[in-house]
């Protein structure tokens, strides 16, 4: 459940940017880029299978691919939670 919430946060940050509800009251403490990097770098499974995924990058094309991956993993986590299966 905790992982699903982090993926939803990352999805929102990548989709909505500064308008994301997860940016509320954080814009002075941490930049959007830093917030995205902090969440995404800890979740290598989102990008390790990319041809250039041996290291996290803040490039737009890389972030767009990560954004696309979040939908798949959120859905998988929802199924696992619903069926009460360990990951």
**Tens of pLDDT, residue by residue, the chain (87 residues):** 899 999 999 999 999 999 999 998 776 789 999 999 999 999 999 999 999 999 999 999 999 999 999 999 999 999 998 888 665
Q: Number of C-alpha atoms within 13 angstroms, CB side, residue 16?
A: 13
Distance of alpha carbon 39 from alpha carbon 10, whole angstroms: 7
8 Å CB contact between 46 and 69: yes
Distance of alpha carbon 66 from alpha carbon 60, whole angstroms: 10
Distance of alpha carbon 20 from alpha carbon 42, whole angstroms: 20
Q: What is the pTM assigned to this prediction?
A: 0.87
């Amino acid at each position: 459940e905790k992982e699903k919430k982090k993926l939803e946060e990352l999805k929102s940050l990548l989709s909505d940017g500064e308008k994301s509800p997860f940016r509320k009251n954080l814009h002075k403490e941490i930049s959007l880029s830093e917030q995205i990097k902090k969440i995404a770098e800890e979740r290598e499974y989102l990008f390790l299978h990319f041809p250039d995924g041996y290291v996290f990058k803040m490039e737009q094309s890389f972030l767009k691919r990560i954004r696309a991956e979040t939908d798949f993993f959120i859905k998988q986590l929802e199924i696992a939670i619903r069926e009460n299966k360990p990951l």
